[in-house]
């Protein structure tokens, strides 16, 4: 083989007119170039034959997974492996046995073969995980993180082999040296190692998937998961901002995953309205007659009133003792029954889930009446619309039951109280800046009380001391002459 290559190269040099005393060196480098060019041509022919041929066969099959597994990048990188093997076999023949050039070229060609195999394995892993991601069982799994982990392991193995080939050392020696520097490597690849372990935990426990809605208030994250990689979890908030978190934070800190709620078919409403406790009272016959005009609670009022009368009659309690003794309906109890029937009949709720109206612990801000139910939709806009419509109705219907909503006093309330205690009170007008009084003794006093100030009534003079009519018409602010 070596003699044949030398003849070809010597003939090529003679044809080019480059034969000289240094013919051996020129022959060697010309043969080197010829081998490289031949390998390039061989690679192109392989791609034309294998890539196009295999792709035509794959496209005829009904299965879809083989289109990805035998994709163009995978087939091309397989052809590169064959070309690298051809170079590794032929190139050393160009150089003399045991020469320095032969050793160097052989090492580089072995390293190139390892690198070509790594690129092929990398493309194969990408295709395999892409096929897995298309399957329903792996849908929305953190495939990218697992793929990056596998590619990272392949890259580590490739690096160790290439370094051992170039240094002509055993890979075991390099692994021993890496064990001694493990602390440094763990510090450098801390996020990658933690991300790898966390990615396995997230996938194994089904804690997080691409497309889930999660909330992490501590880190300002509240939105959909767009990507789970080896080192980053990308979350798009509802305001379209992006939050990047390392995966290990999701295993060490708590977060809320709303995906189960979205699958359940109902979203919870748990909101309360504060009732003024001073408006709670026993129902009078007039109040019960008014409640009977409400269709939703007509049957409830009649049934409850019959039960109350039967209980009171059994215990010898007369109908006139309605305030203290025996059982009596209250406007708050009737209102609570109305809310339960309103939610069941008038609101699009999920009837398979919990629905109740309950009282919470009374506080200084009133008695909280809580509505606890689930809507029949998980769409955010529809959910907020249902919730708003319900409490619009609740706030509007409360006065029909003789109840009041508790609310802290506002400026309007303070003004109403002032007007109640001082019906004739007026807001004092804006006074202009004061100027020194004029020298004339006829000027009005500057310190006259405002119009709204109360002044004591003047004592009645005897009839003889009443002023003349002309004097009575004089201005009160005029000084005596």
Q: What is the pLDDT of residues 19-34, one digit of tens each?
A: 444 445 666 666 677 7
Mean pLDDT of 436-449: 43
How many C-beta atoms lie closer than 10 Å to residue 354's C-beta? 11
pLDDT of residue 68: 75
**What pTM value is reported for the model?**
0.54
Is the model's pLDDT at 477 over the cut of 60? no
Q: How many helices (H) and strands (E) does the chain have?
A: 18, 8
Higher pLDDT, 436 or 15: 15
182 compared with 109, residue with greater pLDDT: 109
Q: Is 316 helix (H, G, I), strand (E, B) or coil?
A: coil
**pLDDT over threshold 80, residue 81:** yes
112: pLDDT strictly greater than 80? yes
126 or 440, greater pLDDT: 126
- The average pLDDT across 27-48 equals 76
Average pLDDT (375-395) is 94
Distances (CA, A) of 49 to 36, 56, 80, 119, 440: 20, 11, 13, 20, 122
- Confidence bin at 393 (pLDDT 50/70/90): very high
In order, the DSSP letters of 111-166 are HHHHHHHHHHHHHHHHHHHHHHHTSGGGTTS-HHHHHHHHHHHHHHHHHHHHHHHH
Residue 449 has pLDDT above 60, yes or no: no
Longest dimension (CA), the chain: 159
Asked if the model's pLDDT at residue 479 lies above 50, the reply is no
Distance between start and end Cα atoms, the chain: 146
pLDDT value of residue 88: 76
Provide mean pLDDT across the span 114-132: 85
pLDDT tops 70 at residue 424: no
Q: Work out the average pLDDT over 249-254.
A: 85
Residue 327 has pLDDT above 80, yes or no: yes
Higher pLDDT, 196 or 245: 245
% of the chain surpassing 90 pLDDT: 28
Three-state secondary structure call for residue 469: helix
Q: Are 419 and 425 in contact (CB under 8 A)?
A: yes
Q: Is the pLDDT of residue 198 over 70?
A: yes
Contact in structure between 397 and 293 (CB atoms under 8 Å): no
Average pLDDT value over all residues in the chain: 77
Q: What is the pLDDT of residue 260?
A: 86
Q: Give 201-232 pLDDT, tens digit per residue.
A: 776 677 888 888 999 999 999 999 988 877 78
pLDDT score for 231: 75
Rounded CA gap, 239 and 237, in Å?
5
Q: Is the CB of residue 105 less than 8 Å from the CB of residue 91?
A: yes
Say how far apart CA 462 and CA 17 lie, in whole Å. Answer: 153
Round to whole Å and give the CA distance between 160 and 175: 8
- β-partners of residue 222 are 215
Highest mean pLDDT among 87-91, 131-135, 145-149, 298-302: 298-302
> Residue 210 in contact with residue 140, Cβ under 8 Å?
yes
pLDDT in tens, 280-319: 999 988 999 999 999 999 999 999 999 988 888 888 887 7
CA-wise closest residue to 341 among 297, 310, 402, 287: 297
Torsion from C-alpha of 280, 285, 290, 295, nearest 10 degrees: 100
> How far is residue 81's CA from residue 410's CA, in Å, rounded to a whole number?
82
pLDDT at 425: 53
Residue 209 CA, chain-centre distance (Å), reads: 13
Query: b or e along 333-350 (b: 16 or more beta carbons within 10 Å of the residue's beta carbon)?
Result: bbbbbbbbbbbeeebebb
Find the mean pLDDT for residues 65-79: 80
Confidence tier at 69 by pLDDT (50, 70, 90): confident
SS3 content of the chain, % helix, strand, coil (to 5): 55, 10, 30
With cut-offs at 50, 70 and 90, classify the pLDDT of residue 48: confident
Q: Which range, of 65-74, 236-245, 435-444, averages the lowest pLDDT?
A: 435-444
Cα–Cα distance, 350 to 68 (Å, whole number) = 43
Give the pLDDT band (50/70/90) at residue 430.
low
Which pLDDT score is estimated for 445? 42
**Angstrom distance (rounded) from CA 82 to CA 207:** 44
Q: Which of 164-178, 187-201, 386-400 has the highest mean pLDDT?
A: 386-400
323 pLDDT band, cuts 50/70/90, is low
Identify the band that residue 322 occupies on the pLDDT scale cut at 50, 70 and 90. Answer: low
Say yes or no to pLDDT of 147 above 60: yes
Asked if 152 and 192 count as a contact pair (C-beta separation under 8 A), the reply is yes
Cα(112)–Cα(102) distance, integer angstroms: 15
Helix (H, G, I), strand (E, B) or coil at 228: strand
Q: What is the pLDDT of residue 411?
A: 78
């Amino acid at each position: 083989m070596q003699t044949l290559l030398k003849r070809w190269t010597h003939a090529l040099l003679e044809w080019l007119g480059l034969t000289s005393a240094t013919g051996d060196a020129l022959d060697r480098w010309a043969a080197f170039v010829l081998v490289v060019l031949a390998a390039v041509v061989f690679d192109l022919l392989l791609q034309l034959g294998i890539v196009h041929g295999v792709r035509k066969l794959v496209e005829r099959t009904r299965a879809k997974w083989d289109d990805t597994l035998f994709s163009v990048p995978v087939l091309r990188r397989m052809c590169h492996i064959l070309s690298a093997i051809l170079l590794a076999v032929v190139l050393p023949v160009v150089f003399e046995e045991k020469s320095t050039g032969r050793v160097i070229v052989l090492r580089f060609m072995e390293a190139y073969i390892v690198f070509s195999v790594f690129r092929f394995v990398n493309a194969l892993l990408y295709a395999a995980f892409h096929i897995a991601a298309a399957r329903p069982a792996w849908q929305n799994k953190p495939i990218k993180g697992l793929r990056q982990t596998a590619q990272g392991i392949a890259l580590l193995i490739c690096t160790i082999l290439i370094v051992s080939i170039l240094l002509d050392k055993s890979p075991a020696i390099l692994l021993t040296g890496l064990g001694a520097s493990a602390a440094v490597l763990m510090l450098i690849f801390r996020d990658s190692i933690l991300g790898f372990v966390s990615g396995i935990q997230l996938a194994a426990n089904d804690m997080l998937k691409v497309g889930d809605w999660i909330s992490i208030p501590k880190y300002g994250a509240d939105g959909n998961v767009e990507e789970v990689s080896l080192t980053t979890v990308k979350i798009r908030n509802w305001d379209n901002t992006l939050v990047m978190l390392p995966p290990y934070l999701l295993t060490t800190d708590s977060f809320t995953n709303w995906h189960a709620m979205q699958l359940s078919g109902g979203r919870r409403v748990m909101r309360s309205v504060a009732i003024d406790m001073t408006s709670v009272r026993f129902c009078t016959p007039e109040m019960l007659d008014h409640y009977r005009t409400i269709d939703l609670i007509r049957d409830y009022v009649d049934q409850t009133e019959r039960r109350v009368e039967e209980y009171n009659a059994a215990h010898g309690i007369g109908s006139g003792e309605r305030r203290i003794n025996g059982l009596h309906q209250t406007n708050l109890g009737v209102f609570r029954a109305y809310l339960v029937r309103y939610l069941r009949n008038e609101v699009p709720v999920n009837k398979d889930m919990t629905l109740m109206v309950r009282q919470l612990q009374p506080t200084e801000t009133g008695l909280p009446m809580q509505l606890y139910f689930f809507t029949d939709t998980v769409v955010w806009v529809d959910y907020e619309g249902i919730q708003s419509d319900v409490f619009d109705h609740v706030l509007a219907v409360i006065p029909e039951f003789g109840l009041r909503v508790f609310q802290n006093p506002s400026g309007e309330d303070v003004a109403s109280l002032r007007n109640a205690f001082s019906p004739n009170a007026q807001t004092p007008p804006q006074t202009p800046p004061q100027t020194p009084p004029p020298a004339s003794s006829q000027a009005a006093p500057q310190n006259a009380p405002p119009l709204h100030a109360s002044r004591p009534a003047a004592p009645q003079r005897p009839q003889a001391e009443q002023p003349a009519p002309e004097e009575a018409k004089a201005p009160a602010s005029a000084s005596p002459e």
